[in-house]
Amino acid sequence: MTFFGNLALLLALIGYFSLATMAGKPTPGGDAGVGHAFALLFAYAAVAVGITIATALVFWKGGLGWISEKPSLRNALVVLGWTSVMVFSFFAAMNGDGGAPWIMRFFGKYVAVWALPPLLAVGFVLVNPWLQSVIPNVIWQWVLKGTVVFCAISCLAIIGEWLANIPVEAAQRAEAATNEEVQRKQQFLKEIENTDAQTSLVTILVFTNKYQDTEVRNAALAKIKSNPQWQQYLVSRLETPWAGEVFAFLADNDVPDKSLFFRSIEKGILEMAKQFEDGMRRTHTFYDGQFYSETEDVLETIAKFEGSEINYVPAVRKLRAALDTPLESYQNRANLRCIPVLDKWLKKHAH
């Protein structure tokens, strides 16, 4: 046991000297910073492995029997003490910047330099019985107890800081999310305000769906309706690549004169079929929800315009057929959720 115990503590000692040489030095930037971090981790690993092996050997040989006469209590204290030392050693090794726990910053950047030697010294006493006959037991036992208690209290402080920071960090995240939402909302409102109501309404149709912020949606609707010919404007865009945006508007908003849209909706669906087919040909990696929102917008629009003499089934059938466009071998397929939705609609409405 003595030989292997000393070998393990020698490994821990080498790791300690490595930590001591890097203690207090600022973390370099770039690739050098990554190398510095790995060096700290390897040095800590040497300390941790060495102390763990030495502790296991001493415990196995009964060298810690003085801790308590009760085996269960002794085992618990050894495990808790070892855990405290490992956790403390890790944070002491990584205590090189402002991200360390408060207790480590309080002790300073050189905490690993002065906190670990007493532990290593007691380790050599425990694995070398002849040293125990030279050094009074009360000295090394109280050194060990004091070091472990010191580590345990530090760990409790770290845990306490972590628990105290949970609500603080949650509040900070909530505030950041709120600020981001406010900024995004102001950006949308500014974009709506700067939109030309005569020529560029199609660019703000995305702000009119039911999921948008109420203020943003109302501002977009007001801008759109400030154009006296806004309905005719939307009708004309149904036969263009902007058809998807128009369908998104029609799905969630009413129009005064539905008759203007009856025929153009059919043309818009055919335009969407072209876009679906183009998307099927151009997409490399599909995902399940692809084309789903567009499909919902089309079907919801049709539902709102029921009662016209136009039969939209043929157009929807072409929309569905576009999703059967043959794929190339390099394209990654997916189970498109819009397909069963369209199949169900066609089954219900086909005569």
Residue 95: its pLDDT value, please? 67
Are 274 and 246 contacting, i.e. CB atoms less than 8 angstroms apart?
no
Say if residue 232 is in the same domain as residue 341.
yes
Q: Is residue 295 part of a domain?
A: yes
**Residues 44-60, mean pLDDT to the nearest whole number:** 85
Q: Encode pLDDT of 150-176 as tens digits.
A: 888 888 988 888 888 899 889 989 999
C-alpha distance from residue 200 to each of 197, 305, 315 (Å): 6, 25, 28
Domain stop point among 104, 124, 139: 139
Domain stop point among 109, 139, 169: 139
302 token code pair: 């049709």
Instruction: Print the domain residue range for 268.
Output: 227-349
How far apart CA 268 and CA 121 sit, in angstroms, is: 82
Domain stop point among 74, 106, 139: 139
Query: What value does the mean pLDDT of the chain take?
Result: 87
**One-letter amino acid of 157:** A
Structural domain total, the chain: 2
What is the residue-wise DSSP string for 132-198?
HTTS-HHHHHHHHHHHHHHHHHHHHHHHHHHHHHHHHHHHHHHHHHHHHHHHHHHHHHHHHHTS-TT
Q: Encode pLDDT of 259-301 as tens digits.
A: 999 999 999 999 999 999 999 999 999 999 999 999 999 999 9
Instruction: Measure the CA dihedral 261/266/268/273, to 10°.
Output: 170
Q: Is residue 123 part of a domain?
A: yes
Say if residue 18 is in the same domain as residue 126.
yes
